[in-house]
Amino acid sequence: MICHGRRRRLKLRDMHIVLAVAESGSMAKAAADLSISQPSVSKAIADVEHVLGLRLFDRGPRGIEPTIYGRAPVNCGTAVFDELRQGVKQLEFLVDPTAGELRVGCNETLAAGFVSAVIEQPSRQYPRVAVHVVPANREVLLARELPQRTIDLAVAPVSGLNLGQDMEVIPLFQDRFVVMAGTRQKRAGRKLTLADLIDERWVLPPLDSLPGLMIAEAFRAEGLEPPQAHVVSFSIPLHQRLLVSGGFITMLPSSMLHFGKHLALKRLPVATAECAYSIGIVTLKNRTLAPFANVFIDNAREIAKPLTKRGFQ
């Protein structure tokens, strides 16, 4: 049992070292990351274990890992130190509101379209703010990056999403997948159907991914099985290159085409079943956001307004 006297002797510096060891899985690496000696790291861990009367780390096949007792202070410590960092950023922002940083998570298509549009105008107004864009799929962003506070917010598809009690959504707009080709591809002006294109050369995301499942749903709504992809990839530069120079076609979100006019892509006149889904900003509840986050969120809402109008293409 932990007595109150022991709890009072815990040092913030020692808890910082505990977090560093948990994140790196190695006392030597934690020491290097913190620019202190390894004996200092070992002593700090021993001091915290003595104060708590509990073993916090075990040696495992992947290095040093937190015990069941170690996970509790590590989880709490992550939130505490994040709040401290954000508090310092708030002070810096008050001193110089033109400087700071923001970490945004999103998938490849949102990065190429909507998110880049949201960043563009504030980057001119706040030239000393650094926006770090972390590309990853929704599952990674919401299961790992956001809970571990390595990003401030995630811009992601939110339809059918079961959020944990510690997360909340700011709704933005409805998106949908449309068929695209390179702007230099010449095709007849008549309306096409997905059945007309089933034997084309397709570049698609993996069919077991969230966008892949959405694309498969669009085909199945027309009574078709998804086409056999000739190239499977999430990479937007790869899609663009193959569509522009290789005669491939694909299905990508309509918002990407709306904001990605520099991508040399065009929408094909293909009648498809409406498979709309919602895009939103996901944040952690009760977390102090980076100061520039509110600027980003306000601009995202403004940029999203035309996309909420009827007939958005």
> Which among 227, 231, 270 has a CA at the least distance from the CA of 247?
231
CATH 3.40.190.10 spans which residues of the chain? Answer: 100-174+278-308
H or E, element range at 34: helix 27-34
- pTM for the structure as a whole: 0.69
Average pLDDT over residues 187-211: 87
H or E, element range at 159: none
CA angle 93, 98, 103 (to 5 degrees): 70
What is 177-275's CATH number, 3.40.190.290, 3.20.20.120, 2.60.40.1180, 3.20.20.240? 3.40.190.290
Which is more confident, 3 or 31?
31
Helix (H, G, I), strand (E, B) or coil at 307: helix
CB 234 within 8 A of CB 209: yes
Per-residue pLDDT reduced to its tens digit, 124-147: 888 888 899 999 999 999 999 998
CATH 1.10.10.10 spans which residues of the chain? Answer: 4-78
**Main-chain dihedrals φ then ψ at residue 54, nearest 5 degrees:** -140, 150
> Which among 123, 80, 76 has a CA at the least distance from the CA of 102?
123
| Buried b or exposed e, range 259-289, using 16+ CB within 10 angstroms | bbeebebbebebebeebebbbbbbbbeebbb
CATH T-level fold of 4-78: Arc Repressor Mutant, subunit A (1.10.10)
Look over the chain and give the mean of its residue pLDDT values, rounded to a whole number: 83
**Secondary structure in 3-state letters for 218-250:** HHHHCCCCCCCCCEECCCHHHHHHHHHHCCCEE
CATH class of 100-174+278-308: alpha beta
Average pLDDT over residues 96-118: 88
**Alpha helices by DSSP H, 66-154:** 68-95, 108-112, 114-125, 138-140
Band of residue 312 on the pLDDT scale cut at 50, 70, 90: very low
CATH 3.40.190.290 spans which residues of the chain? Answer: 177-275
